[in-house]
Amino acid sequence: HALVAEFDRLLNAPGGLVLFLLEIIFLMVVIAGAIMLVQGTRKIPVQYAKRIVGNKQYGGVRQYIPLKVNAANVMPIIFAQAIMFIPLTIAQFSVGEGGGFWASLMNYTSFSYNFIFALLIIAFTYFYTAITVNPIQMAEDLKRNNGFIPGVKPGKRTAEYIDLVMSRITFPGSIFLALVAIMPAFAGITGINSQFAQFFGGTSLLILVGVVLDTLQQIESHLLMRHYDGFLKSGAKIKGRSGSIAAY
């Protein structure tokens, strides 16, 4: 409905069709950016020590620790939105110039509102990432399983290295998350229909992208399982994504 309303609004305007196409292209760019934000990971290589038990050799393979660029997901936006309701509550109980100040601060399209909103999202991204990602526990798990990061000593040094990498990738992730959150307000300022502008970002877009990606991954896994089951029944050899071949 919002898309149709925006098309009707621009249909009779000078150059309206071109503007509408530009809006659609910009929307596609925002969606592509949201997909990159949701799927973005930094892979840390991990090597496991070789162990020989009997006549078999275990370990020695290289794996990766996937660190998400946006480990906090949409939680920073939700927390920031909750904090931004405080000025609105103050404005409701204030009179005179004080109430007007808080009311203007809560203007959805104002620079002050979106600037504070973006700063809160960045801060909450670091906070939520810090409480959900535990580099010390990850380092201990690696050491317990005879794993190590090449060039980094096991234990404390590994924890410090993981924490450093996580801090580096969280910064651009938090910036992009803040941009996605304030994008609907920016779209509204440029004259885009308020209902259609909501498609340009915010929690709804990130949740929608996450659900679609999870659904596609589940469908892919289901199709792969059915494909492998067909080979298992025929007694064929299966070649996985890693390139290894297993005979059944």
CATH number for the domain spanning 21: value is: 1.10.3370.10
Question: Which of 9, 66, 13, 25 lies closest to 43 in space, CA to CA?
Answer: 66
- Tell me the residue range of the domain where 185 lies: 2-247
Look at the pTM and tell me if it is higher than 0.85: no
Q: What was the pLDDT predicted at 20?
A: 74
Q: What was the pLDDT predicted at 237?
A: 47
Q: Across-strand partners of 231?
A: none
For residues 10 and 21, give the distance between their C-alpha atoms in angstroms, rounded to a whole number: 10
Q: What was the pLDDT predicted at 98?
A: 57
Q: What was the pLDDT predicted at 97?
A: 60
Q: What was the pLDDT predicted at 60?
A: 60
Q: What was the pLDDT predicted at 114?
A: 87
Within a 13 Å sphere around the CA of 205, how many CA atoms are in the beta-carbon half?
27
Average pLDDT per consecutive 10 residues, the chain (248 residues; last block may be shorter):
63 71 83 87 85 62 85 89 82 64 72 89 93 91 86 89 92 91 82 72 80 85 74 50 41
Q: Across-strand partners of 51?
A: 58
Q: What was the pLDDT predicted at 147?
A: 84
Q: What is the pLDDT of residues 136-164, one digit of tens each?
A: 999 998 888 888 888 888 888 999 999 99
Q: What was the pLDDT predicted at 220?
A: 83
Type of residue at 47: Q
Q: What was the pLDDT predicted at 34?
A: 86
Q: What was the pLDDT predicted at 170?
A: 92
Please tell me the total count of domains within the chain. 1
Q: What was the pLDDT predicted at 166?
A: 93
For residues 212 and 205, give the distance between their C-alpha atoms in angstroms, rounded to a whole number: 11
